[in-house]
Chains A and B, each alone.
Chain A
Amino acid sequence: MTETPFTISVSDGNLNLLRSKLELATLPDELEDADWKYGVPLADIKRLVERWKNGYDWRKHEKDLNDELPMFTRDIDVDDFGTLNIHYVHKESTVANAIPLLYCHGWPGSFHETRKLLPLLTASSPDHPSFHVVALSLPGYGFSEAPRKQGFAVKQYAEVAHKLMLSLGYSEYVTQGGDWGHVVCSHGHLVRCRVTQLFQVTRHMAAEYGGKYDKAWHTNMPLSQPPSPWQEPLSFLAFLVTPWTAKEKEGLARTQWFRSQGSGYMAQQRTQPQTLGYLLADSPVGLLAWIYEKLRNWTDNYPWEDDEILTWISVYWFSRAGPAASLRIYFEIFKGQSTGWIPPQHPKIPMGVSLFPKELMVVPKAWVRRGNRIVAEFEHDSGGHFAAHEKPSELANDLRKMFGKGGGAYRVVPGKDGYP
């Protein structure tokens, strides 16, 4: 199996263009005492723009990424879409029978959100299983090519990830998908329907390739919906009469916040992504604000450092396909509509769920358990949407428990139990 090594190497021309744009940056004003109420505060953007212009050293962070993450590119043929050159991290464990695991990011995530998780998952120990980890850049993200044609939706993203695993010799593998991937349907109760793509990708993989290839899947953002009064009357009644726990109430409040105040970006991206794309492609400040708002609001008091943020944004700015391409997944999956949801799939393969309180859609566990073959459930007291980045130890532990001896998915990949 030959892999083409890849190092990030942004051209000087691109660095200079970024600097030129930052030097011409025009900032808006702000209402008095606005804080985070209307969007990202002006003081944050001013400070970050200043740092990006003067002080932030892309070459240093570029080198860190190159040194830390073994990266490659590979051509993947996608049915009806031609060949796409895919960028990915491939970190193998020293444990020969480590479990092949695909990690799938979302928006505005990135391949490198795994950088703290990788050493933990690949670490060798007699006490827990190890993994070979493949963290791809979805087409249109990071340094992967973007599709040129319309209609590149969940099926295609799943196909890319699946074929990548096969091409690396992993005919049987497991997956971890987080980011936002949630469908919560309302039948008179209040939460609307949403679908997240990253979760969607690994869920689709589980449904499409599960059993033969995809042996188990884990997520930190489970899609689920309340029981239907028509199809599941007993569950529905139980749902109506069971009082919420305090934790569940907080979770529903979080979900309500996301629905009513945090989804404007989604409405735009699923209906008119190209229009937004002009803004994000032309203004680094605009891109910074658009993404930084999510990095802050979607995490659980994560102590972001300025350079950490700027590296995250820079990867989007310098991405191979440009930031506009990353938006199209919303349009394609939602078919350009602002309402509507994808019918739920219920893959048959074992599923693990990690629940973090500041995820974007937090629903009662009963809903998650329905229809899914849950073999491992982990609840956490802190952490948000970017679990791999915020809580790498906790997420690694969850995966180790799920796939380890006594775990619900132990030995799910024949011959590769992850132990030395």
Chain B
Amino acid sequence: MTETPFTIAIPDDKLDLLRRKLELTTFPDELENAEWKYGVPLADIKRLTERWKNGYDWRKHEKELNDELPMFTRDIDMDGFGTLNVHYVHARSSVTNAIPLLYCHGWPGLFCEARKLLPLLTQASPDHPSFHVVALSLPGYGFSEAPQKQGFVGKQYAEVAHKLMLALGYDEYVTQGGDWGFLVTATMALEYGGRHHKAWHTNFARALPPSPFKEPLSFITYLCTPFTAKEKEGLARTQWFRSRGQGYFAQQSTQPQTLGYSLADSPVGLLAWIYEKLHNWTDGYPWEDDEVLTWMSIYWFSRAGPAASLRIYFEVMGGTSQPKFQWPRAPTIPMGVSFFPKELTIMPRAWVRRCWPIGAEFDHDSGGHFPAYEKPSELADDLRKMFGKGGCAYGVVSGKNGYP
């Protein structure tokens, strides 16, 4: 199996253009005492912009990413979409029979949100399983090519990820995914589950309340059962996201190109658009400025540009903010779910169990939408338990139980 190594090497002229744009930044004003009520506070954006212009050293962070993450590119032939050159991290464990695991990010996620998780998953130990980890950049993200044609939906993203695993010699594999990664890995489980895709783990299990017409008993139980304190908090979080946090979703699923012009032209605009989510979707995560700026810079310097990353919303939702979109029916391969209290949509556990045949459940007292980044130890532990001896997915991959 030959892989083409990849190092991030942003040309000087791109760095120069970024600097010149930052130097011309025009800020809006802000209402008195606005804080986070209307969007990202002005003080945050001013501080981050100043740092990005003066002090933030992209070359240093570029080098760190290159040193830390073994990266590659590979052409993947797509049905109906030609060939896409896909960028990915491929971190192998020293354990020969480590479990091949695909990590799938979402939006505004990135391949490198797994950077803290990788050493934990690949680490060898007699006490827990190890993994060979493949963290791809979805088409249109990071340093992967973007599709040029319309209609690139869940099925295609799943196809890319699946073919990548096969190309790397992983005929059987497992997955971890949240956000769009949830949709991609769920689709993989439906298309390739059993034969190739052997088990899946997510931190983003969706659920619907019971239907009074289709499930009257469940519905009545739901009406009569009081919610726990934790469930009430979860519903409040869900309510916040639905009523205040989804403007970006409506825009991106209906007019992504219109938004794309702003994100492609204004680094400060891109910073605000994404930083708002990094802040609101995590659980008190102590973001450092350079950490934020590295995240933004990857979006800014991405191969396809930031506008391309938005199109998944339009394509999957069918170009409407009122889709007749159905989450995939439940796959039958073993499933593990980790629950973090600051995920975006948190439903009562009974509803989630009704929708998905969960083999392993892991509860956490803190953490949000980016657990690989916020809570890498916890997520690694969850995966080790799920795939380890006694876990619901122990030994799912033939001959690779993850132990030395």
Contacts and interface: CB of A to CB of B under 8 A. Distances in A.
Interface of A: 17, 20-21, 24-34, 37-42, 45, 146-150, 259-283, 285-290, 293, 321-325, 328, 331, 336-339
Given A34-B257, A38-B255, A150 B244 contact: no
Majority secondary structure, A binding face: helix
Contacts of B26: 17, 21, 281-282, 322
Interface stretch (B27-35, B58-66, B203-211, B368-376): B27-35
A26 B314 CA distance: 22
30 contacts: A20-B24, A24-B17, A24-B20, A28-B264, A32-B148, A34-B150, A37-B319, A45-B261, A146-B29, A259-B321, A261-B320, A263-B254, A264-B250, A265-B251, A269-B247, A272-B248, A275-B38, A275-B273, A278-B28, A278-B266, A278-B269, A282-B266, A282-B268, A283-B262, A321-B29, A323-B28, A336-B244, A337-B243, A338-B243, A338-B247
Contacts of A274: 28, 30, 34, 38-42, 272
Contact of B305 (A28, A148, A279, A293): A28
B166 interface: no
Interface string B216-258: 0000000000000000000000000011111111111111111
B27 A281 contact: yes
A258 to B, nearest CB: 10
Contact of B265 (A26, A32, A268, A273): A26
B257 to A, nearest CB: 3
3 nearest A-B pairs in the assembled complex, by CB-CB distance: A286-B262, A274-B39, A39-B257
Nearest to B306: A28
B308 A28 contact: yes
B194 interface: no
A86 to B, nearest CB: 18
Nearest to B267: A282
Interface residues of B, number: 68
Contacts of A289: 257-258, 261-262
Contacts, number: 231
B270 to A, nearest CB: 8
Interface of B: 17, 20-21, 24-34, 37-42, 45, 146-150, 242-266, 268-269, 271-273, 276, 304-308, 311, 314, 319-322
A283 B38 contact: no
Nearest to B27: A281
A264 B253 contact: yes
Contacts of B254: 260-264
A276 B39 contact: yes
Given A261-B321, A275-B273, A27 B261 contact: yes
Given A259-B322, A293-B255, A272 B39 contact: yes
Contacts of A277: 28, 39
A338 B268 contact: no
A156 B250 CA distance: 29
B251 A278 contact: no
B32 A150 contact: yes
Nearest to B250: A267
Given A28-B305, A150-B31, A282 B269 contact: yes
Given A27-B265, A261-B320, A337-B244, A38 B250 contact: no
B28 to A, nearest CB: 3
A268 B266 contact: no
Most chain B beta-carbon contacts within 10 A, residue among A26, A30, A37, A293: A26
